[in-house]
Structure 1
Amino acid sequence: MQEPFDIHIGETHYAVFPEGNDTYTIFKEGKEYTQIQKDTDMQWLKLDPESALPLFEADEEINAIGKEIMDYVPEPEEDEEGGFEDEEED
């Protein structure tokens, strides 16, 4: 599973915690904010906090967060020897 990561939209900081099945828990400025789910690459849905069912209403902030999630590229992790895990050894 993908590790949590941070994104920024303007001056706002979000922490993104992948939950699987294209669902993410979002923290905004250090506080739990919402859960979102990918509908399409351009459309994301906010989940109802009580039922966890998708809310089918347009939300520009949720779509902006989703776009940043899609654009996110994780940094390669260093292994114990100081190299990167993706490097092949000769």
Structure 2
Amino acid sequence: MRARHLLLTALLLPLLAQASLRCGQNLVEEGDSVEQVLAACGAPAERKVNPPALRNNNVPKFNAAETQFWTYGPENGASRHLKFIDGKLVEIRVER
């Protein structure tokens, strides 16, 4: 029984942990919009936008999404990498 609880906890913990990033006195979290992150952190040092995949007739493919990859820093030896899908922050990574 105890092993089952440990396994369940190990599987669910990553789902419960939501990454956040401090920008000055502001805090951004996964789920925030592009606009919210811009307001809190300002313009990124690097920004790459990938439009949704298109069919031959220039209509977006089914379930195609725009992705954006932003980089802030380096600051204090760390770069912060943000990934957006369809305007929502889905991943925050810090690399030293």
TM-score norm. by structure 1 comes to 0.29
Question: Highest relative contact order (Cα 8 Å, sep 6+), 1 or 2?
Answer: 2
Q: Which of these two proteins has the greater Rg computed from alpha carbons?
A: 2
TM-score norm. by structure 2 comes to 0.27
* Structure with a larger share of its residues in helix: 2
